[in-house]
Chains A and B, each alone.
Chain A
């Protein structure tokens, strides 16, 4: 196993709202290894983005607050660091790209200016000319044609895919240990999506960083991730390496997600079955049921799941394969 660079331990994030406190992330654990990609999958509101933002300590406070757990980066707890120390890590050791390439770049500064800004901040020893040179190099690295011209352009002159490439160029300018990608391809066309994922994979092999890939798209997971954590209602419900997870999902929710992917055969074949779906809705974080959070949507539900023996815990069902379920499925 590759070197462990980041360890998220029992992370708890709460939000204060008009209707009271909600726990958006409830005891999440995962590790990031050098050169490997961990995928965090889940529906909207499952807490995957909040977990990612917590690592950067970018949870807007108020209303959000990290109320428990540890985030160990190379053994040091990021949650205990003063904000000034945290700023030397952001964009430098741990970088992040976002879901909205159209709005994530500042519209009134040139692309070059925005890349150089990171370099100026974290590598003050570089001269102005060196910064410019390095910025152009970064744009070349992410496959932007005629980078020496593009560097003087404004974000609105670039397409969505190009902007996401610029974001990647910017985030990798200081060669970070970890790249957090929060749904980096959700807003892009499928063809562009494939290009961006391909690019990220290529850069990962070149630079050796660990990637946290936040997504709701199992296709993206299958294509890019080494390990996967499935989140539901602020908790990880299943965690395994990608092959194991896809071949033998143990949590009924994970299985439901897999089954609801339209397959090529089912849409083109003679037999046009209805696509299976997961019945019901995600429960409101304001009133989660006691016991398993997935009980109302699960076909294997019994008294145990309804809380007669407490909440289910994330337990290792097989080597390297953990699941939070009283009735884990057998492959």
Chain B
């Protein structure tokens, strides 16, 4: 079975998953949640107003048809209009994706590379003072609230020292760079702790395997063992961990974006939640579900490339 047929078959499995995810989203938004008409109009709405707004929002359509609207949106990305801004949601997402991506992708890339490199070093010097200090450092970094980093960074480095912009965003390369620097650094600080701890565990797990002992018995140097034998085996869990985070990058960083006034998808989502803008929240939910499913397919395909034991069947 070749890889294209495998990808195609794997994509076919996506369809029932999306149907299921849409059913859950439908249940949450259209069945369990309170009547959006009442949320929009408030308690003192008249019966006619309720009927009218329900018609506008399409809430008087049959349940099944509302469900299929959600399913359709998962494939066409046509999510209708926002209740509060009346904009096309797909346009809002397109506009928000760029600022989100300019922050999240560089930050994620740097923190992943940094995490893997540090954990390889730590694995090399396992049990030494360097190892211990790094682990303690990671836990310390992780234990401080992200709010502390944001507020301290904005007050001290941006306001007092004036090294960075305090908040805001500018479109286009390279104009956005000054604005994303500080949030990106904070992102790296926040994620490098858990990353190093996770990767270190994986590396150490490999280092005590029998085939590493064989590699030593062959006379290979510790460096070759680490970069060839350990790293290739460690790639399997690392890929899972890395690729499955990508959908969340697309959605943007809720907290960082809103504190730094970056008009990305994270900000859009937060605003929608604040104003009970159901179609936008629902659109983001559908979008994240679809992204998650697609990236899990990508993970599976990548497995077949790094692990010969995964047979394409």
Contacts and interface: CB of A to CB of B under 8 A. Distances in A.
Given A103-B210, A167-B214, A156 B219 contact: no
A118 B214 contact: no
Nearest to A57: B216
A96 B218 CA distance: 8
B151 interface: no
Interface of B: 127, 209-211, 213-221, 229, 232-233, 306-309
Ranked nearest first, the 8 interchain pairs of A and B with the lowest CB-CB distance are: A90-B219, A91-B218, A91-B219, A103-B210, A106-B211, A154-B308, A96-B217, A87-B219
B214 A105 contact: yes
A118 B209 CA distance: 19
Interface string A95-131: 1101010011111111000000110011000000000
Given A104-B211, A105-B214, A106-B211, A92 B219 contact: yes
Nearest to B307: A108
Given A62-B127, A106-B233, A108-B232, A170 B218 contact: yes
A115 B221 CA distance: 16
A108 B214 contact: no
Interface residues of A, number: 30
Given A62-B127, A100-B210, A104-B210, A117 B217 contact: no
Interface string A68-87: 00000000000000000001
A62 B131 CA distance: 14
B211 A156 contact: no
B309 A91 contact: no
B313 to A, nearest CB: 14
B127 to A, nearest CB: 6
Contact of A56 (B209, B217, B221, B229): B217
A92 B219 CA distance: 8
B124 to A, nearest CB: 14
19 contacts: A58-B216, A87-B219, A88-B219, A90-B216, A91-B217, A98-B217, A106-B229, A107-B309, A108-B233, A108-B306, A109-B232, A117-B218, A117-B220, A118-B218, A118-B219, A121-B218, A167-B214, A170-B218, A171-B217
Contacts of A88: 219
A103 B209 contact: yes
Contacts of A109: 229, 232
A89 interface: yes
A160 B210 CA distance: 14
A106 B215 contact: yes
Contacts of A154: 308-309
A178 to B, nearest CB: 12
B218 A156 contact: no
Nearest to A96: B217
A107 B233 CA distance: 8
A163 B216 CA distance: 18
A170 B307 CA distance: 22
Interface in A220-259: none
B214 A98 contact: yes
B130 to A, nearest CB: 15
B214 A106 contact: yes
A103 B211 contact: yes
A110 B215 CA distance: 14
Contacts of A58: 213, 216-217
Contacts of A122: 219
A322 B61 CA distance: 96
